[in-house]
Structure 1
């Protein structure tokens, strides 16, 4: 069994990698489920590889290196501990090991790329590209008004009690614009793709095929259909139709533009002031008044 696991890890170590990023409640889980349902892909859920395992392993290795360089702790003949360049293969092997532990029923004979979804990947894109220079990063972007409505409903119990929904909407929209700007700067001349949630929603088959081509796997009609059908809202939600709300479900509503039914004018204005310029640049509806008051 050990030999079998080691052989699988070695095989996965040599595969291309990809990572899904985006603000919470932006469709990252939907996209992860879609990618994971493609017969040539394995896409892990939120392992927090880049912001948990990577720094943890790096610190262990670096502490060892420092201890070996301490003359009071070294007996002849000593050794030189691994430097940063030596640590990268260890981190990559750790990801392959993590993927192996989560293979499930994946058909190894068809597997062509491995990846992970984590909203925090956007904050740590530079670190990901240091470990995996050729990694594809896919940033899914959703109208911040819809994202804020969904986020406030989903995370309310964990938010400060004094935080009002208008305040949350404004903070969410500001973070949304900031993350997009930062990610674009880091991603310049690197394998990076932005996809709007709304576009994936409107043309799921066509946009899914684009994503699969970007990663470098099959965009054959049968493979695209398999992935999109397995990740449909109806299937993920347990049978609800899009627009049927379950506040307790991770798949709350599955609809575009629900903010119009839920946000107050005050909350809409707060979102537009915080992110109106970026929203307009991405094709989202922004009122003339909102655009005029939008922060630079």
Structure 2
């Protein structure tokens, strides 16, 4: 059934009954690449950075709380008033808001073919408990990249927004702390979940078919060779970067370089040493080799 003959309410009802997934990870870790791959699958909608969890949800909670406070003040009304929703009663409001975002950005996707809906914002890994409170059965894809590569990529991409007195070596140290902390906390929160997988940026480079197959199987959608190939071909570095080949650097592009191991010719020895000292435990847990040993 095409979208053209469905009413808005019918589309909304269909979306409301679909499984939900979120993607998160450190900045510059490949979350956009994963989002693009999944969004090219005919059974999936995967939005870019809506910041639903870290922006809209808190604002809806604030407005609801203000409404609750007003309704509790009897002098504001001459007639019997009402109680405002609180606790779990707010959850349907939040879920409806997410469905509205999906519906507003669904594009030319055929709603009748959809089997799951999702969203990618890197900071989702900071709000896993909030996500789980809204969607207890959520599927979560955690994209992980060698922190040394992420650190130099993030600094290059975001340095124009940093304080002018923020030197690169200090940024690398701070990134190492965040990389280690965010990954460790996320893994602990989701430790016993069967609806959580980790996808390595490096594995996506080396075995894209295997990794895409794993994600599609996780989301329980078509993982045929033809479907995997279409997702991969629609999301190559060349297509996303506007025609550049991997290794052709454009520091002003979101798709900057598209390689693994670039930190080796970008970071100084001291920066590498500092990162590895700070993030040693997490690197060890993830199996990333350290250049400088203890």
2:237 corresponds in structure 1 to 233
Residue 162 (structure 1) aligns with = 165
2:73 aligned partner: 70
2:104 to 91, 101, 106: 101
1:277, CA displacement in angstroms? 2.1
Q: CA RMSD in A?
A: 1.6
Q: Tell me the CA shift for residue 134 of structure 1.
A: 0.7
Q: Does 1:273 align with 2:273?
A: no
Question: Which residue of 137, 149, 153 corresponds with 1:134?
Answer: 137
State the 4+ residue runs in structure 1 displaced beyond 3 angstroms.
none
Whole-Å separation in 2 of the counterparts to 1:152 and 1:79: 51
Match of 1:153 among 153, 156, 167: 156
For 1:175, the equivalent position in structure 2 comes to 178
Q: Distance in 1 between matches of 2:219 and 2:51?
A: 21
Aligned equivalents of 1:175, 1:288: Cα separation in 2: 20
Contact 1:10 1:96 in 2 (8 A): no
SS class of match (1:20): strand
Deviation for aligned residue 1:75: 3.6
Task: Find the aligned partners of 2:75 and 2:284 in 1 and give their Cα distance.
Answer: 62
Aligned to 1:215: 219
User: Is residue 165 of structure 2 the alignment partner of residue 196 of structure 1?
Assistant: no
Distance, in Å, in 2 between the alignment partners of 1:103 and 1:143 is 33
TM-score, with normalisation over the residues of structure 1? Answer: 0.94
2:93 is aligned with 1:86: no
Quick check: 5-14 or 98-107, which moved more? 5-14
Gaps of 5+ in 2: none
Q: Is the 8 A contact 2:176 2:275 kept in 1?
A: yes
1:29 aligns with 2:29: no
* Structure 1: gaps (5+ residues): none
Q: Report the TM-score, using the length of structure 2 for normalisation.
A: 0.95
1:266 shift after superposition: 0.7
